[in-house]
Amino acid sequence: MNLLDTASLVVTPNGYKASKLYSIVPSDGTGDMTFARTGDTATRVNPSGLIAPINANIPRLDYLGSTCPKLLLEPQRTNLILRSEEFDNASWTKDSGGVGSIPVVTANNAISPDGTQDADLIVFNLNGGTASGDFSYVAQIATVTISTVYTFSIYAKTSDNSTKTISLVDGNGTNTLLTITGSWQRFSRTYTTALTTANMRLRLRGSASGEGTSTSASINLWGAQLEAGAYATSYIPTTTASVTRNVDSITRTSSSALIGQTEGVVFFDLNLDSRLSFSYLLVRNTAVTNYIGFTIDNTKIRAEISNAGFNQARIDYASSSTGRFKIAVAYKANDIAFYLNGSLIGTDTVATIPTCDILDFYFNAVNGIRINSAALWKTRLTNQELATLTTI
């Protein structure tokens, strides 16, 4: 018998409508999750592999790097770059030095990652120049907060299927060499601001500067983004002003009947896009003094149980890596076990089980996650069953 056949709740990225993600188990609607995200500013990768807009309160079933969807959940982010797809616009400065030429921009030259012909062609040319004073660049200046981590990202490919090296220069003036090929790639640079402005540049510069050997390059660019945070989130298009994509929320209240109140299992199969500050995946009460689930930060994944505000169990798996994890915490009075990717991480033999009535799969979250599935059981599975359940 499949273990999921005995679950009280099974949620996967499948049927949905505005403000709702349907559960597989139960199938009568009592397990359907409430989804919320305000604003028509989010995007996802659709089944065709293209970046597509998603309206407010629609769950994002994302196909990035996969033929199977994952439920994409992200924190709030703001794209500070203006005219993120319009490099011919005056928001983007074009300049040169030495024998270099001012970049020539041709709007809507190529099919972009969203499947339409809206990627611009930028032709950089040093005219054979090799001195550090020879350069050709496009740039945009944004206002930022000093001593704060930001990430700039952009999609790029060569227009002639060649391979070229250009520089991405962050707001502190530090360059990163990008190897651009004939296929679309998303490049990013994360840095901590030393100034209150960020002059983000893409440029060719003479080889004497140590910034590469290409003296000319025809590059298609699309989807520029500058956001406060230590990794690039899903693309947020802009025109005349910065745009904010609000946080995703997936919850269900009044769920006592789905949650094992004296024993059970909480399980997640997920991919972590980042490892930053706390994110919680749990069942809880309104005051969050009672909860059973997981805490994820930049150093660990923790199975955690709290009753009336008092810690009952904390079992840590030391990790700073991203990627896929299958995690399960089994609970019963004085009988706690944490399994991850098929292995027992730890146990706790002194624990009082809290009463919970809310499902919350993205509580107080900072990390970006992609959920493959989530499930609850109202009985404690055996350790062998937990090993089987969490094996990738």
CATH code for the domain of 131: 2.60.120.260
- C-alpha–C-alpha distance, residues 360 and 252, integer Å: 7
* 109's tokens: 């030259």
Residues 93 and 212 in one domain: yes
CATH code of the domain covering residue 365: 2.60.120.200
> 214, 229, 244: which is the final residue of a domain?
244
Look up residue 147 and give its DSSP letter. T
Residues 157 and 211 reside in one and the same domain: yes
* Mean pLDDT of the chain, nearest integer: 96
Judgement on whether residues 240 and 271 belong to the same structural domain of the protein: no
Percentage above 90 pLDDT, the chain: 92
For residues 315 and 364, membership in a common domain is answered with yes
Q: Is the pLDDT of residue 268 over 90?
A: yes
Do residues 86 and 222 both lie within one domain? yes
Mean per-residue pLDDT for 195-212?
94
pLDDT for 51-93, tens place per residue? 999 999 999 999 998 899 999 999 999 999 999 999 999 999 9
Which of 185, 215, 244 terminates a domain? The answer is 244
Give 311-357 pLDDT, tens digit per residue.
999 999 999 999 999 999 999 999 999 999 999 999 999 999 999 99
Domains: count for the chain: 2
Same domain, 88 and 67: no
Domain housing 317: 3-74+247-390
Say whether both 89 and 236 belong to one domain.
Answer: yes
Residues 257 and 349 both lie in one domain: yes
251 in the same domain as 240: no
**What is the total residue count of the chain?**
392
Q: Report CA 370 to chain centroid distance, whole Å.
A: 8
pLDDT at 4: 86
Question: Mind listing the pLDDT tens digit for each residue in 121-130?
Answer: 999 999 999 9
Could you tell me which residue, 119 or 66, shows the higher pLDDT?
119
- Would you tell me how many other CB atoms lie within 10 Å of the CB of residue 73? 26
Residues 53 and 15 in one domain: yes
Give the pLDDT confidence of 7-34 residue by residue, as tens digits: 999 999 999 999 999 999 999 999 999 9
Clarify whether residues 124 and 166 are in a common domain: yes
Last residue of a domain, one of 227, 244, 261: 244
Whether 371 and 253 map to the same domain: the answer is yes
**pLDDT recorded at residue 365:** 83
Tokens of 6: 């005995």
Collapsing DSSP to helix, strand or coil, 256 comes out as helix
Residue 146 has a pLDDT of 98
Mean pLDDT across 211-229: 95
Cα–Cα distances in Å, from 170 out to 138, 140, 151? Answer: 12, 11, 9
Q: Which band of pLDDT confidence, cut at 50, 70 and 90, is reported for residue 1?
A: low
Q: Which pLDDT belongs to residue 247?
A: 96
DSSP conformation letters of 361-385: EEET--S-EEEEEEEEESSPPPHHH
- In contact, 248 and 366? CB cutoff 8 Å: no
Mean pLDDT of 152-161: 98
**pLDDT at position 43 over 70:** yes
